[in-house]
Amino acid sequence: MDARDKQLLRSLRLELCTEVLVDGLVIQYLYQEGILTDSHVQEIKSQTTSQRKTMMLLDILPTRGPKAFDAFLDSLQEFPWVKEKLMMKRKEMTVQDPADVTEIAPRILKTSPTDQQLNKLARRLGPEWEHIVLCLGLSHTDIYRCKVNHPHNLQSQIVAAFVLWRQRLGKKATIQNLQASLMAEEVDPSVIQYMLE
């Protein structure tokens, strides 16, 4: 899924949770089209409320490849108003050309991110955070510990992982390394700009 579509899903997350009921045809259609696996369907169905089911689906979708967003649009037959809104918003959004992004000063790139910056970054990241911290050198065990230590708060899990990275690498934990791993995971460049504001 491209950066624009990930950003779009993130920006409309709460609205989608109140409007889309994934209990019906949405999940079955995405399963039929190979976007969701058996374990994804079970994970979504195991959630206690419709809103949590939709949130789980919105967490999974960005990780399911380039066809995921269009398949999600196709699955919204029962919700034509939502599909229309997503398509309108998608047209409005233009992915920033990397040339448009303001350059970050080299002295800033060589510094370590502050707690405040890591908090701001965590607010903007979704499920891709795990791949980002793996790129930075943390292990799956580290990620598991962060999840166990903060079971009910995704933002706290993300911040804990970044703080662990910063502690381990010390002065080598730079904004430049962070930017490189965000780019490797195709995170929208505006996310790092927001973090540095």
Extents of the domains making up the chain = 3-95, 105-196
Alpha-carbon dihedral sign for residues 18, 194, 89, 68: negative
- pLDDT, position 188: 76
Question: Average pLDDT, whole number, for the chain?
Answer: 84
Is 99 a residue whose pLDDT tops 70? Answer: no
What average pLDDT score do residues 133-162 get? 90
Task: Say which range, 58-72, 81-95, 98-112, has the weakest mean pLDDT.
Answer: 98-112
Is 110 a residue whose pLDDT tops 60? Answer: yes
Is 92 a residue whose pLDDT tops 80? Answer: no
Non-local (6+) Cβ contacts of 28 within 8 A are none
- Tokens at 120, concatenated: 């701001």
Confidence of residue 14 (pLDDT cuts 50, 70, 90): confident
Is 160 a residue whose pLDDT tops 90? Answer: yes
Please tell me the CATH superfamily of domain 3-95, with its number: Death Domain, Fas (1.10.533.10)
- pLDDT, position 98: 46
Q: State the fold for domain 105-196.
A: Death Domain, Fas (1.10.533)
- For every residue of 54-68, which 3-state class applies, written as one string? HHHHHHHHHHCCCCH
Could you give the CA distance from residue 195 to residue 197 in angstroms, rounded to a whole number? 6
Cα–chain-centroid distance for residue 88?
Answer: 21
Are both 3-95 and 105-196 of the same fold? yes
Is 113 a residue whose pLDDT tops 80? Answer: yes
Kind and range of the H or E element at 70?
helix 68-75
- pLDDT, position 144: 93
Could you give the CA distance from residue 185 to residue 45 in angstroms, rounded to a whole number? 28
Could you give the CA distance from residue 187 to residue 15 in angstroms, rounded to a whole number? 22
Could you give the CA distance from residue 54 to residue 131 in angstroms, rounded to a whole number? 22
Confidence of residue 100 (pLDDT cuts 50, 70, 90): very low
- pLDDT, position 102: 56
Question: What's the whole-model pTM score?
Answer: 0.51
Is 138 a residue whose pLDDT tops 60? Answer: yes
95 vs 4, residue with greater confidence: 4
